[in-house]
């Protein structure tokens, strides 16, 4: 695709292309109702040309490099490009219709190439390095110094100090990795959409009504009225595994979910071998022994050894608890079906039985009180009580799909602090899982700019006029992603690259994990109409099955880190590595990884390579920080909430994350609350199986 330099052509494009014009609607939000896939190519080319001109002006500035003319100038550069790219990746992940999918590889390739050209410009790096070298004498504020150090480190970690030959290879690796990442994600989406488990009415015993209704609509849409079709969305899979008494159906959906992209038409296994080899090569070019060493150098953990040590400390007690849980579930099976052996597709079903029989917790009954709209309202209520925020529906703001809702976010004084889109229903063109993103970040470099953020999930959609409900874990997911949104909405920094969630990978999950505590707070559940008996049962059963869930998560996190600590990938076989590593860590039968490598999008199509452990690291931070509220005897204590906002949410990446935690808690984090919350402090003395 060629660049367009002709003035008349450029004028025509600007007139017709909403991605090029200045947005004048409410909050200057994207005009999604007018944006089409064909608008992106000319908009990207035009924005990149403008960005190159801005970079050239900085690189050739005859003035002595200083903070303003170099580092701040880089912050201002590329605003239009950032705007177009954010819109594209929002649509690519949540509304990836055919036209968007067709150009995804192209957008990824030109974006990567553009970034490499800038990051490897020796003139630009020389100016940034000069400012970095003089930072002690420059009279910078703490935030300005952080920006200088981040800018310099970004260039170094991007290969700016390499020689020309190494730069070319580094850039080629980045290009190939970007292409492989897109292909990996597209394969998962295709494999997920290709699966269908169709059953009859008599096969639906035990399943919640909302799941059944969604399955009926799915079957009707595929030309099978009167039948019920289940897919591989997390809601369908968890629903069948938890509630269906039909072991054959549980096995079918479990195998469908866990064998995706492994030897089928959408095989990701060959891609994995190439990805990890290229990652190691790029890390070696920068002087690191492994990709994990490279990735964690700018994290809170700092080293792979520190991350591994935390996981090892939790793995031991979690594994023992999982063995106890396994034996308990096997005893239930023995009583019902002598000779049957507990399998992976049985665990959630019998675990639900334990919660019902021992703790009087009925997951289906809990779900009946968790109406999606009310759960979303409960999240807004928590944000209001903690931080004084109000969320006002704005149907006048264009959205990219009818399922999406737009909300104006205001503070106690009625001032608009940002905008939020919520998009909660599963669709074939939407990636699986749940996430938060930004269409615009908070900053005040040239005047106050309010953030525009979105949260996305894949919950089952009810029939027209029906009532959408979610499981308790899905409600936690909604609160989790809403926590990310609050981190972005309550950011209070000057420079855009330091805003909100632009923090280290093992800190970014902290503000989201802590929000999960409030969805199970008794007064919030009462507000949803839930009776005290059920609320008490949730509290009693909170630690039930924690051995299984912790082991399931840690297996994925430990294998991710072990994979990226490898220093040789000659003849690498991802399947063999999985098998051998699971045997090495001694995972109890029949627990598997929460995410097997062939569909592990966090690691191979996201930013979590070497860093899936960060959810556990962040849970240490969140468990300790939540204790501050517990110690005050009020989960909505105003002083504690204000301190959390000022010291954790507002600073973004304007200072070291450990400094932010210490500013809130008065000391470094303690992992004891994490172990207590997961019920892993007291472990019976038993022999490992």
pLDDT of residue 556: 98
- Tell me which residues are annotated as active site: 481
Q: CB of 591 within 8 A of CB of 344?
A: yes
Q: Please give the pLDDT value at position 12.
A: 45
pLDDT at 689 over 60: no
How big is the chain by its Cα radius of gyration, in Å?
Answer: 25
In whole angstroms, what separates CA 582 from the centre of its chain?
25
233 close to 425: Cβ distance less than 8 angstroms:
no
Q: Give the pLDDT score at 685.
A: 44
CB 440 within 8 A of CB 451: yes
Confidence check: pLDDT of 11 > 80: no
Residue that is written with structure tokens 């700092």 in the block: 302
Distance in angstroms (rounded) separating the CA atoms of residues 108 and 186: 13
Q: Residue written as tokens 């038993």?
A: 686
The span from the CA of 533 to the CA of 328, in Å, is: 25
Q: Structure pTM? A: 0.94
Separation of alpha carbons 319 and 323, rounded Å: 6
Q: What value does the mean pLDDT of the chain take? A: 94
DSSP letter for each residue of 96-156: --HHHHHHHHHHHHHHHHHHHHHHT-HHHHHHHHHHHHTGGGTT--HHHHHHHHHHHHHHH
pLDDT in tens, 517-576: 999 999 999 999 999 999 999 999 988 899 999 999 999 999 999 999 999 999 999 999
Q: Which residues of 345-485 form beta strands (DSSP E)?
A: 390-393, 405-410, 416-425, 435-440, 452-459
Q: Please state the rounded mean pLDDT for residues 141-170.
A: 98
Cβ atoms of residues 328 and 534 within 8 Å: no
User: pLDDT confidence of 15, banded at 50, 70, 90?
Assistant: low
Average pLDDT for residues 235-257, to the nearest whole number?
95
CATH topology of domain 368-534: 1.10.1370
Q: Tell me the mean pLDDT in the region 116-140.
A: 98
Mean pLDDT along residues 340-369: 94
Domain 7-161 fold is 1.10.1370
Report how far residue 137's alpha carbon sits from residue 139's, in angstroms, rounded to the nearest whole number: 6
Residue spans per domain, the chain: 7-161, 195-258, 269-341+542-677, 368-534
- Look at residue 120 and tell me whether its pLDDT is greater than 50: yes
pLDDT attached to residue 682: 64
Q: Are 342 and 326 in contact (CB under 8 A)?
A: yes
Q: By the 8 A CB rule, do 613 and 671 touch?
A: no
Domains 7-161 and 269-341+542-677 share a fold: yes
- Beta-carbon neighbour count of residue 424 at 10 Å? 25
What is residue 688's predicted lDDT score, i.e. its pLDDT?
38
Q: Which fold has domain 269-341+542-677?
A: 1.10.1370
Cα separation of 557 and 311, whole Å? 8
Please count the other Cβ atoms lying within 10 Å of the Cβ belonging to residue 689.
13
Q: Where do we find the tokens 């994207």?
A: 30
Q: For 411-429, how does the pLDDT look when each residue is reduced to its tens digit (9 = 90+)?
A: 999 999 999 999 999 999 9
Nearest CA-CA partner of 29 in 570, 465, 404: 404
**DSSP code at position 504:** -
Of all residues in the chain, what percent carry a pLDDT higher than 90? Answer: 91
381 phi and psi angles, rounded to 5 deg: -60, -45
pLDDT score for 680:
85
- Among 138-142, 265-269, 461-465, 495-499, which is the least confidently predicted range? 461-465
Residue 560 CA neighbour count, 13 Å, CB half: 32
DSSP string covering 185-246, please? HHHHHHHHHH--EEE-GGG-TT--HHHHHHHHHHHHHTT-TTSEEE-SSHHHHHHHHHH---
Report CA-CA distances (Å) from 94 to 11, 43, 418. Answer: 31, 20, 21
Distances (CA, A) of 212 to 198, 203, 235, 362: 12, 10, 11, 18
At CA 585, angle to CA 584 and CA 586, rounded to 5? 90
Angle of helix 247-258 relative to helix 234-243, nearest 10 degrees, comes to 150
Cα–chain center distance at 29: 23
Give the model's pLDDT for residue 686: 40
């Amino acid at each position: 695709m060629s660049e367009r330099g002709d003035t008349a052509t450029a004028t025509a494009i600007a007139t017709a292309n909403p991605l090029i014009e200045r947005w004048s609607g409410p909050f200057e939000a994207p005009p999604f109702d007018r944006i089409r896939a064909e608008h992106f190519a000319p908009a990207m080319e035009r924005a990149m040309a403008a960005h190159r001109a801005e970079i050239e002006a900085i690189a050739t500035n005859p003035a002595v490099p200083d903070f303003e003319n170099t580092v701040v100038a880089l912050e201002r550069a590329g605003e239009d490009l950032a705007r177009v790219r954010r819109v594209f990746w929002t649509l690519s992940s949540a509304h990836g219709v055919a036209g968007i999918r067709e150009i995804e590889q192209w957008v990824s390739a030109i974006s990567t190439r553009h970034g490499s050209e800038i990051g490897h410009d020796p003139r630009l790096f020389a100016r940034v390095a000069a400012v970095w070298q003089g930072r002690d004498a420059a009279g910078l504020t703490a935030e300005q110094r952080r920006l200088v150090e981040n800018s310099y480190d970004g260039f170094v970690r991007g290969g700016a100090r390499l020689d020309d030959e190494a730069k070319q290879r580094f850039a080629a690796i980045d290009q190939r990795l970007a292409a492989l990442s897109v292909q990996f994600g597209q394969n998962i989406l295709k494999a997920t959409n290709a699966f269908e488990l169709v059953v009859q009415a008599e096969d639906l015993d035990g399943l919640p009504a909302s799941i059944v209704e969604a399955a009926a609509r799915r079957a009707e849409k595929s030309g099978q009225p009167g039948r019920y079709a289940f897919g591989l969305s997390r809601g369908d899979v968890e629903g069948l595994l938890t509630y269906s008494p039909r072991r054959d159906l549980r096995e079918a959906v479990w195998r469908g979910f866990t064998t995706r992209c492994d030897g089928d038409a959408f095989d990701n296994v060959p891609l994995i071998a190439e990805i990890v080899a290229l990652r190691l090569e790029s890390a070696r070019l920068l002087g690191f022994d492994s990709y994990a060493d490279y990735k964690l150098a700018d994290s809170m953990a700092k080293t792979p050894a520190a991350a591994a040590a935390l996981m090892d400390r939790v793995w031991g007690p979690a594994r023992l608890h999982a063995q106890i849980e396994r034996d308990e579930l096997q005893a239930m099976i023995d009583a019902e079906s002598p000779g049957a052996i507990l399998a992976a597709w049985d665990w959630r079903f019998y675990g639900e039985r334990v919660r019902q029989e021992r703790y009087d917790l009925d997951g289906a009954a809990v779900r009946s009180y968790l109406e999606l709209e009310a759960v979303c309202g409960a999240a807004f209520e928590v944000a209001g009580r903690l931080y004084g925020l109000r969320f006002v529906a704005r149907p006048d703001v264009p959205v990219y799909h009818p399922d999406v809702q737009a909300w104006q976010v205001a503070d106690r004084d009625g001032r608009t602090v940002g905008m939020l889109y919520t998009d909660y229903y599963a669709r074939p063109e939407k990636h699986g899982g749940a996430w938060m993103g930004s269409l615009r970040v908070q900053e005040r470099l040239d005047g106050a700019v309010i953030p525009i953020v979105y949260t996305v999930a894949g919950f089952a959609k009810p029939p027209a006029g029906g009532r959408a409900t979610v499981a308790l874990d899905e409600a936690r997911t909604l609160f989790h992603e809403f926590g990310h949104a609050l981190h972005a909405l309550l950011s209070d920094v000057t420079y855009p690259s330091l805003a909100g969630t632009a923090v280290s990978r093992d800190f970014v999950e902290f503000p989201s994990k802590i929000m999960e505590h409030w969805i199970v707070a008794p007064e919030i559940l009462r507000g949803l109409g839930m009776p005290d008996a059920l609320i008490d049962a949730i509290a009693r059963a909170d630690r039930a099955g924690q051995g299984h869930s912790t082991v399931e998560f840690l297996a994925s996190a430990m294998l991710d880190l072990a994979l990226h600590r490898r220093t040789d990938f000659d003849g690498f076989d991802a399947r063999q590595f999985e098998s051998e590593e699971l045997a090495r860590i001694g995972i109890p039968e029949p627990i598997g990884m929460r995410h097997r490598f062939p569909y592990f999008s966090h690691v191979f199509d996201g930013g979590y390579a070497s860093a899936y452990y960060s959810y556990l690291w962040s849970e240490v931070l969140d468990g300790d920080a939540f204790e501050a509220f517990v110690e005050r005897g009020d989960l909505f204590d105003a002083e504690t909430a204000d301190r959390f906002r000022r010291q954790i949410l507002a600073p973004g990446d304007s200072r070291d994350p450990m400094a932010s935690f210490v500013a809130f808690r008065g000391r470094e984090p303690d992992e004891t609350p994490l172990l207590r919350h997961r019920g892993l402090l007291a472990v019976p003395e038993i022999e490992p199986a």
